[in-house]
Structure 1
Amino acid sequence: MTRPANERQIIRACNESLQALLCASVNISILDLSTDENVSPDTRALLETTQLLIQGYAEATDFIGALAKGNINVEPPRKNHLIAPYKELHASLQSLVWQIQQVADGNYNLRIDFLGRVSDSFNRMVAALADKRRIEAELSLSEARSLRAETVAKAGHWEWHPDEGTIYGSPGVYKIFGMENQPLTLDSTLDVVLPEERSRVYHALRQLVEGDEPYDIEFRITRRIDGQILDVHSIAEYDRARRIVFGIIQDISARKCAERALDYQHRFQKMIAEISSDFINADHDDLDARIDKMLQSTGAFFQVDRAYLFQFSADGKYMNNTHEWVSAGIDPEIGYMQNLPLDSFPWWANQVRENKNVYIPDVSRLPPEAAAEKEEFQRQGIQTILCVPISRENKVIGIFGFDSVRAKRVWEDDQVFFFKVAANTVSNALLKHKLEQELIESAVTDQLTGLFNRRYLHTHLPPLLEEYKRTKKPVAVAFFDIDHFKKFNDTYGHLAGDFILQQFAQLLKENIRPFDIACRYGGEEFLVLANGAGGTVVSTIAERILEKARTRYFEFDGKRLHLTLSCGVADCTEFGEQALNAETLIDTADRRLYRAKEGGRDRCVYGDDASEGNE
């Protein structure tokens, strides 16, 4: 049977389309069904079959290829059920192409029964494709659930093909990395790992692939989109048969942040416990050393450049930098921070006096009203400063401060709270020190005049005399008595007498050397202990004090009071070593005091007359 030329042309077109299909060509055009009524039924059947084959075979080829590579997770029995019809159809198509070619060449008629077998094979493949679509729907649902799970868990899964050098990541991976959905390589993935941890992560991956070592690692990354640093945890297994690494990665920043916060709190509590124990066990004399140690501990803990303590004067007008710690390479400022008027820094001082924390994140952005503070802070190179007032009995007595010099510093609320706890520890230590000082002073200080008392004198004089015996460093005493003191009490009352005692004590302190010791010996008697000075020098000092007293008037209750003094001086060089002791030295000065009174008062006596002997 000879076919018309146009029919043979249609058959050849079908043949070419099917050959292209078998060669997995792309963009195959689907033939339109001929409306030519002269086309034979078998040719029309060929056209219909070819159209269906072109529609379904390409889709099946892509699906079966993904299935064969393992890119679609399907159980083995079901996988075979999907692949078998495809293989059968592929073989039938190869035979069909050959037969169509023969028909197109005019050799013999196309066998309808063979087309039927091809159609049966195609129907089975269509059924398999329907199963394939169900699988895709299931996979789509599974992927949606997986994506939701990844979002909730802040996780993603990934595959690494070492031979190809490629990495495939789920949306969760890209979200963690802060990257667009783009091809990944090992190098581009390692680029997001912090540089100091990169080699550790790479080594762990190589050990998994080459040494079968477990891959279970925590490290930190920098998100590409915003530069945020995240803590991540990744685990993986290596499929040696398929040479693929399957892994997951999870953002564990929240957990690590909580762990670090807990560790931070534990370390801080331990530090505060050690500091508190130090202060509790500190003696009065080593408090300064304990404060210095505390500044070093807290400065290192909070990672600042300078930690310091300022204490305010009793009237709250001046402040002194009493203690300071600086980190390596930072210049100390304590030498420049003495006797500073608080009003020199009004903006800062007003906040401190109101017992407010002063936190300046960026010194360069201080307001115009803080111009004086800005100038001083910048002179010291400070970028960020935090000061916490130290108070006692609702009165601010100083500040505890931290400076950041090398870089700006952000202080979180919990850190400021911890800093306040440390400041309270310092405040408690200073209060303890003050109470101890007051206790010591109450034992050795005269409450009316503020001078040392007789107990203090008899404690400190003997060691000085022993030192004189070893080194010949002189020691001398001047014994004073207020002339006619009883008349102040009798004429003006005891309050006037107390006033005179206080005024003379102040005059005495103003006219002796800083290292001399002034004591109220009892009643209206006072004694000055001079270390390192002989009788001649002390006599000169005593004469100056007598002159100041006789030329000064003291106003009391509208009345001008006047006083004079009698004084006796003695020094250790007047005695042999066997005879020299505190009692003999004071007694000698006392006898000379009475000689001054007997001589008419308002005078100083130094040296013996014929009736005295000091051997």
Structure 2
Amino acid sequence: MKQPLTTQVSTTQIMDALPVATICICHDNLSEISDVGQKKGALQKAEVTVNETAMTLCQLDPLSELPAQIADLNFSIEEPLQHQVAASDMVSPIIAALSESQTDRRDLLLGHVPVQLSSVQLSNNADKVVTLVTLQLRDHRLFIYRNTQLDTYSTELSIKELINFEKLVSQLTSELQPEQEDLDDRIESALAAIGEFTQVDRSYVFLFDFDHTHMSNTHEWVNHGITSHIDELQDIQQEHLPWFFEQMLSVGKVELTDTAALGDEAKHERDEFLKEDIQSILCVGMYANKRLIGFLGFDMVARQRRWSQIDVRRIRIVADLIATAIHSSRLQQSLALSQKQLLATNSALRELALQDGLTGLPTLPKLKLRINEEIARARRQSYGLSLCVFTLDHGQKTQQRLSESQWNNLIQDIAARIGSCFRRHGEVLARLDDCSFAIILPHADIDIARERALKVLGQVATLHCIQSNPITLSSGIVQWQTDMDAEDLLMQAQNNACEAHLQGGDQVL
């Protein structure tokens, strides 16, 4: 037996508390009327009451006539496997409900939003009828309702949603491949796609630092008319949102239907959600190698939303795709950096191998490269080219008499004196071994080479004697011939220097 309410609660208060959009229409009895125009006219003259949820869902203007706005709501049919029917081609389901005792529609779009519409006539007499219409967002799950034939529609719609989501996942998988460029743009495109598909107001990605003490909003998509907050949500410290950090680190999920209902243990989070006008929020962790790197989140701003298990499963799938893309991109960047550093290290090692550590002069391999370059240039431009080799007389005996530091100082001094005699463009002095040096002389014939080699011998002769033994050099010079390469030049110059030493040293051959 139905009992009246014992508390003083008005019907309006009850309607406003419902999470379902409710429209109550008191209108003329239209059971015998088939003309759509007459029905619409009756609706426009009817007494209409709506709750707050209906005002929001239908975007009604409280300052304008409600009956006219409801009559003009933009409905269309989302056929399961056929084309969409435009609003201009169908009768408004609300107008149609005015002459039916009961309706149940789960194939409708209000604008672009999938909705379920039900209606029932609460009173019916010869003159006036009260029709109660309810609207709610159509969830992406199987609908079992009263075992009516309309369950076929619901099942087919759910299959269509499943197919569409699979297509979306396939598309995102392709777009989030790590080898593609512009990952940030592709992540934001993915956020837009999943945000529109799940009909949320805001979707976003946050990334944690290595120690999970800070997080930043790196990517964001917002629906039309929704405020962006990405610029404000940078480098957020753990102590500012301790409850949220703890939830993400411990369970990897934050799921709230009503953020205002958070207790004092999450007062910082409650204040932040209020600041951003977030009524409902769903966040799931993103992991790489089982380590939390960030999270993907959905916000509802215009209304509250009770998140379904399908919502959670779908956001996890997309979160995994984005996490994989970010992790792969980081690995590629790290690999590229390592390769760059390795190339730089190898280049530096090659330079070290081509440079004498004591004198800083090029070594024999680098000299050969330069000789071949000069030979090619001399061949093209038809100019002379000579090579001089200088060998320290009695070098091994001198090295044995000296300490390591004394020997190093002597070699550096000799290198400096030789170098002071060769400062022209293209002239390259190199250290061949412990006791020998060589220099290539572009644009120089054998006579010029001899003259300049003798100058070097005079410079070295001024060095202090070591244990009454003078410091002298023997020099071998050679002029390039067109049939000679770098090896030929070096061998002949070294042979000439050796012959000069055998003839007593301190001379040029």
The TM-score bracket by the shorter chain reads 0.3 to 0.5
When you count helix as a share of all residues, which structure comes out higher?
Answer: 1
- The structure having more radius of gyration, on CA atoms, is 1
RCO higher in 1 or 2 (8 Å CA, sep ≥ 6)? 2
